[in-house]
A = this chain, B = another copy of it.
Amino acid sequence: MPETIPADSVGIVTPQRLHFDAPLRLSSGETLAAYDLVYETYGTLSPQRDNAILVCHALSGDHHAAGFHDPADRKAGWWDNLIGPGKVLDTRRFFVVSLNNLGGCSGSTGPASTNPDTGKVWGPAFPIVTVRDWVESQARLADALGVDCWRAVLGGSLGGMQVLQWSMDYPERVAHAIVIAAAPRLTAQNIAFNEVARQAIRSDPDFQDGFYLERGTQPGRGLRIARMLGHITYLSDDVMREKFGRDLREGRISFDLENVEFEVESYLRYQGDSFVGSFDANTYILMTKALDYYDPAGACGGRLAEALRPAKAKFLVVSFTSDWRFSPARSREIVKALHDNDFDVSYAEIECPHGHDAFLMKIPAYREVMLAYMERVAGELADGG
């Protein structure tokens, strides 16, 4: 953390926890009898309860989107550059809610939680959850918070898929849907990367068919490989060249297989190592499955416009030119389907070299687009709209 907390930070935040004991019927057909959701809020809910914004996280995200948990924290929440007083999601105006999704590993009920029926850790027995299930659980959180209609729901990547699903499942409860660096469904190549990551985890002998917590092991090697691979797909070829080029850590080739020679190798190993110990392998598998399964057009014979027809929100769709994980072409599929329904859509394709990770970054053109859009949203608010 900085010496003093910046003036535009939400400051020190404390995660909250809600217990839900109405059974949740999942897409798989299984039912979760009860569950907890951990979340954070920034800003204040207006007396009219009309200024609430929901932030949906991506594959490895959590509820800690802004501020600091402790003055000693070195890092702020994952979307801190967007959330705070005077920022894009201006907490002087909006009440921002960010939760850890069901199946996650940061406090909400997931594979690392105890199954009350057995008294044991869920592990691989935790049911598969889908984007739709997440939206359902988030709707219950909205109910509990007294939010009838979100002023905006937003998210990047897998988070953007949740935004799309919200607009379809609860048309009356979303005024603005902001879909960033997302896709209406994965390509075969996307699925292939997820599958290699899963296989890396599953083939780690310490994975123990998913019962590693019970047996006191950790599939750290597999999770590390999965994360390294993920990072390749989050960055563009260009930004990797810019960041690392072919730079050698020791200035020259060592001809030693044990050495970390290129800077990019060092970066990946660091990313892999720091993920292990902070993330649960079963959750990683579940999250990639939710990504693979997501296909709202599937039930409509592949016609995305038809799937989106029930939506009533206004949309902002944002993509990044160098994102090859979810390329601008994928965002344009969404925009086309929205246009086909004559919906109110704004689309911005941000020119930048940062790849998929751009959605998390402070990029001036991106910030301006978001700021302009949120001004409009806030304007409606002042008008009582």
A191 CA to B269 CA in the complex, in Å? 13
Q: Is the CB of B196 within 8 A of A240?
A: no
Chain A, range 262-281, C-beta contacts under 8 Å to B: 262-265, 268-269, 272
Decide: A244 and B196 in contact? CB cutoff 8 A: no
- Which of A29, A124, A243, A246 gathers most chain B CB within 10 Å? A246
With A29-B255, A195-B265, A196-B232 already in contact, the answer to whether A203 and B225 are too (CB < 8 A) is yes
Specify which chain B residues have a CB less than 8 angstroms from the CB of A28 in the assembled complex: 255
Say yes or no: is A343 at the interface (Cβ < 8 Å to chain B): no
Judge if A205 is at the interface, Cβ distance under 8 Å. yes
Known: A257-B124, A264-B188, A289-B257. A269 touches B199 (CB 8 A): yes
Chain B minimum-CB-distance residue to A243: B188
| Given A28-B255, A203-B221, A191 contacting B264 (CB threshold 8 A) | yes
Question: Could you give, for residues 174-204 of chain A, a 1 whenever the CB lies within 8 Å of some chain B CB and a 0 otherwise?
Answer: 0000000000011111011101100110011
CB-CB under 8 A from A246, the residues of chain B are 185-188, 191, 295, 298
**Which of chain B's residues have a CB closer than 8 A to the CB of A335?**
none
Consensus secondary structure, chain A interface: helix
Interface residues contributed by chain A, number (CB under 8 Å) = 55
* A205–B262 alpha-carbon span in the complex (Å): 24
Question: Are B265 and A128 closer than 8 Å at their CB atoms?
Answer: no
User: Which chain B residues border A244 with CB–CB below 8 Å?
Assistant: 188
Does A293 have its Cβ within 8 Å of any Cβ on chain B? yes
Residue of B nearest to A256 (CB): B128
* Identical chains bound together, number: 2
Is the C-beta of A253 less than 8 angstroms from some C-beta in chain B?
yes
User: Measured between alpha carbons, how far is A300 from B184 in the docked complex, in Å?
Assistant: 47
By a CB distance below 8 angstroms, the chain B residues around A128 are: 255, 257
The interface residues of chain B lying within 8 Å CB-to-CB of A255 are 27-30, 127-128
Please name all residues of chain B whose beta carbon is closer than 8 Å to the beta carbon of A40 when the two chains form the complex: none
Contacts of A225 in B (CB 8 A): 196, 199-200, 203, 225
> A244: nearest residue on chain B (CB-CB)?
B188
Q: Which of B127, B228, B292, B293 contacts A199 (CB 8 A)?
A: B228
CB distance A196 to B228 under 8 Å?
yes
Residues of B within 8 A of A27 (CB): 255
B residues near A13, Cβ cutoff 8 Å: none
**Chain B residues whose CB sits within 8 angstroms of the CB of A199 once the complex forms:** 224-225, 228, 268-269, 272
A residues adjacent to B (C-beta < 8 A): 27-30, 124, 127-128, 185-189, 191-193, 195-196, 199-200, 203-205, 210, 221, 224-225, 228-229, 231-232, 235, 237, 240-241, 243-246, 253, 255, 257, 261-265, 268-269, 272, 285, 289, 292-293, 295, 298
